[in-house]
């Protein structure tokens, strides 16, 4: 069997539509992961030991278990407790929480890189703790870690095919549907790979540029 361009053009629109779902899941999951990561990073610096301990326990648990298992749990097991989510919502939430535990580490590194003198100057000026975070520390910590966060977005993008496991019609799932109807795998699966490459490679270059710009500062 050889490559059929005719078949390729025929399935392209369907796959492109599914690619939009992949992108949607990645973007929503990323926003969620950025927010959760920041919250986790801040909770880990809480004055309360209980809060710090609980945060560490939860994040370790999430990081030490496979994403696919978490997806299955959220989508298939939670309904037993009355929590029924649509596939895409379950997928985005799980991606967001899973990656949030990793972006938290990125934020932590950024926060640690802010010199102690900045905290001390802010305290000497009597800024309240909240303002020290929002005005002094985070505006310096976050720009420095944007490339690292971007790398997690690409990482998450490449993990979205796992959502096919919970019936999200994203790229891979769409390709599988086509293949199961036509018994042709070559074109659909190849196209999926090409889609991922076309989107992730330019993103990676953008991130590398951002990194270079930040290190020049």
Partner 1 sequence: MTILKTTTLQSDPVERQAVPDPTPMKASDMVRFRQVNKRFGETVVLRDLDLDVAPAEKVAVIGPSGSGKTTILRLLMTLEQPDSGTIEVDGEHLWHKANKRGELIPADEKHLRTMRTHLGMVFQHFNLFPHMSVLRNIIEPLVRVRGMSREEAATRGRTLLDMVGLAEKECAYPGRLSGGQQQRVAIARALAMEPKVMLFDEVTSALDPELVGEVLSVLRELAQQTDMTMIFVTHEMRFAREVADRVVMFDQGQIVEQGPPCEIFKDPTSPRTRAFLKAVLEH
Which residues bind to partner 1, rule: CB under 8 A?
Answer: 115, 117-118, 120-128, 131, 135-136, 139-140
Work out how close the CB of 142 gets to partner 1 at its nearest, in angstroms, rounded to a whole number: 10
Helix (H) or strand (E) holding 50, with range, is helix 49-63
Cα separation of 190 and 1, whole Å?
14
- Closer of 82 and 117 to partner 1 (Cβ): 117
Quick one: tokens of 175? 């390709």
Cα separation of 63 and 37, whole Å?
13
Work out how close the CB of 128 gets to partner 1 at its nearest, in angstroms, rounded to a whole number: 7
- Closer of 137 and 162 to partner 1 (Cβ): 137
Work out how close the CB of 98 gets to partner 1 at its nearest, in angstroms, rounded to a whole number: 31
- Closer of 123 and 209 to partner 1 (Cβ): 123
- Closer of 82 and 115 to partner 1 (Cβ): 115
- Closer of 88 and 138 to partner 1 (Cβ): 138
- Closer of 118 and 200 to partner 1 (Cβ): 118
Work out how close the CB of 131 gets to partner 1 at its nearest, in angstroms, rounded to a whole number: 5
Work out how close the CB of 114 gets to partner 1 at its nearest, in angstroms, rounded to a whole number: 10
Q: Which residues of 142-181 are buried (b: 16+ CB within 10 A; e: fewer)?
A: bebbbbbbbbbbbebbebbbbbbbbebbbbbbbbbebbee
Work out how close the CB of 51 gets to partner 1 at its nearest, in angstroms, rounded to a whole number: 17
Residue 25 in contact with residue 91, Cβ under 8 Å? yes
C-alpha 127: how far from chain center: 34
Quick one: tokens of 211? 């990194």
Taking the CA atoms of residue 78, residue 80, residue 81 and residue 83 in that order, the dihedral angle to the nearest 10 degrees is 50
């Amino acid at each position: 069997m050889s490559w059929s361009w005719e078949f390729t053009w025929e399935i392209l629109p369907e796959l492109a539509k599914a690619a939009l779902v992949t992108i949607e899941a990645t973007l929503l999951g990323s926003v969620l992961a950025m927010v959760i990561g920041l919250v986790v990073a801040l909770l880990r610096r809480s004055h309360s030991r209980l809060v710090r301990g609980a945060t560490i326990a939860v994040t370790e648990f999430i990081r030490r278990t496979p994403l696919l298992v978490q997806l299955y749990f959220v989508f298939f097991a939670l309904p037993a407790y009355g929590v029924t989510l649509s596939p895409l919502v379950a997928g985005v939430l799980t991606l967001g929480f899973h990656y949030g535990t990793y972006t938290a580490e990125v934020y932590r590194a950024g926060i640690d890189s802010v010199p102690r003198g900045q905290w001390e100057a802010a305290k000497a000026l009597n800024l309240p703790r909240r303002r020290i975070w929002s005005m002094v520390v985070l505006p310096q910590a976050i720009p420095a870690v944007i490339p690292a966060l971007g790398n997690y977005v690409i990482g998450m993008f490449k993990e979205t095919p796992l959502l096919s496991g919970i019936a999200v019609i994203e790229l891979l799932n769409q390709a599988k549907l086509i293949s199961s109807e036509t018994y042709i795998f070559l074109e659909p699966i190849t196209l999926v790979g090409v889609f991922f490459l076309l989107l992730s490679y330019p993103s990676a270059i953008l991130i590398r540029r951002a990194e270079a710009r930040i290190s020049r500062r």
